């Protein structure tokens, strides 16, 4: 989960020379950052270095990353007229840089026999950024549009589902060997609102991406109350964050689907004996059953100790091998 970033010295050094969007939009730099954690750790897959928000740029929104402020949308979507103005263009035109970075990374990874994961933000998470203009705690504007102007909301989500689905498909066609749909903020909704206002559009995006014939991971946070609905929306793997017990969540989903998760990212700041205990607990809940991708419950955090990342990766491999 977000393998390269502010916790890695190599990445921080690169960021002294380039802004994050400059790295994302320069395929050679994005490829280099993709490879940083692969060179540092014995990971089982690489994740293309990108961000979910350039998809919104291609639709006509103005995006910047403020220093210490995170992403900012300077012309947020607040009205039916704003929604009508959003463009739906081919990803080969608007997101060509990530597709090219995927091709470069595949060449780098070939000799290591390591697969590459591509990803996109899901329609709801992109909608929340587009409407709020930045991150949000309560999503008042997003839910407000959804509740007060449902017809406008559905038009927005129709556009986003096409953009997301076609972007994921293009990544598979460029060489990504698995895809992940990030619905990071959908846990802000009730299950009833998810079913009515989100599920059809996540399903549509996944249906389009399915044409790429690669596995798809469907991920969200704070989604313990809607995992069954996420499964209904689609995906070969359902992400489980650390707010749910992995064994109970998997039992509820059914063992015919794979799961990903679910160590608390903050556990990587703990002393090694405590981190090892918590990692073992996750692995023990999976019971060695096929279809578990050990991962964090959300992205790795800035300041994460490198030594703990290394020891965790090695421990998971050793423990899994001894249990098999």
* Active-site choice (6, 195, 203, 231): 6
Report residue 260 CA to chain centroid gap.
12
Write b or e for each residue in 49-75: b if 16 or more Cβ atoms lie within 10 A of its Cβ, otherwise e. Answer: bbbbbbbbebbebebeeeeeeebbbee
Rounded CA separation 214/202 (Å): 17
* Active-site choice (7, 11, 129, 194): 129
CA distances, 27 to each of 7, 80, 241, 262 (Å): 21, 35, 31, 31
Q: Does 195 participate in catalysis according to the annotation?
A: no
Burial, 255: exposed, middle or buried (Cβ in 10 Å; 0-12, 13-18, 19+)?
A: exposed
Helix (H) or strand (E) holding 153: helix 150-174
* Active-site choice (18, 51, 78, 155): 51
Q: Does 18 participate in catalysis according to the annotation?
A: no
- The token pair at 45 is 């897959």
Q: Does 15 participate in catalysis according to the annotation?
A: yes
Q: Does 210 participate in catalysis according to the annotation?
A: no
CA-based radius of gyration for the chain: 19
Active site residues per annotation: 2, 6, 15, 51, 129
């Amino acid at each position: 989960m977000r393998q390269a970033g502010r916790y890695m010295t190599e990445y921080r050094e690169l960021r002294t020379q380039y802004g994050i969007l400059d790295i994302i939009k320069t395929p050679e730099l994005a490829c280099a950052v993709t490879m940083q954690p692969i060179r540092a750790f014995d990971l089982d897959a690489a994740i293309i270095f990108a961000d979910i928000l350039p998809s919104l740029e291609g639709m006509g929104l103005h995006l910047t990353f403020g220093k210490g402020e995170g992403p900012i949308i300077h012309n947020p979507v607040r009205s039916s007229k704003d929604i009508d103005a959003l463009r739906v263009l081919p990803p080969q035109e608007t997101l060509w840089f990530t597709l090219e970075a995927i091709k470069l990374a595949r060449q780098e990874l070939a000799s290591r026999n390591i697969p590459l994961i591509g990803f996109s933000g899901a329609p709801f998470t992109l909608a929340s950024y587009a409407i709020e203009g930045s991150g949000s705690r309560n999503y008042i504007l997003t839910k407000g549009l959804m509740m007060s102007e449902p017809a406008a909301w559905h038009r927005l989500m129709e556009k986003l589902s096409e953009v997301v689905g076609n972007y994921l498909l293009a990544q598979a066609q460029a060489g990504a060997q698995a895809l992940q749909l990030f619905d990071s903020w959908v846990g802000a909704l009730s299950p009833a609102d998810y079913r009515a206002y989100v599920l059809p559009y996540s399903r549509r995006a996944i249906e389009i991406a399915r044409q790429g014939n690669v596995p798809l991971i469907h991920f969200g946070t704070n989604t313990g109350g809607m995992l069954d609905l996420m499964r209904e929306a689609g995906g070969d793997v359902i992400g489980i964050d650390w707010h749910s017990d992995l064994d109970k969540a998997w039992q509820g989903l059914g063992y015919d689907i794979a799961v990903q998760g679910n160590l608390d990212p903050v556990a990587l700041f703990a002393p090694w004996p405590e981190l090892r205990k918590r990692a073992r607990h996750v692995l023990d809940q999976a019971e060695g059953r096929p279809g578990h991708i050990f991962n964090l419950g959300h992205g790795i955090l800035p300041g994460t100790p490198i030594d703990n990342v290394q020891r965790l990766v090695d421990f998971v491999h050793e423990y899994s091998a001894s249990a098999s």
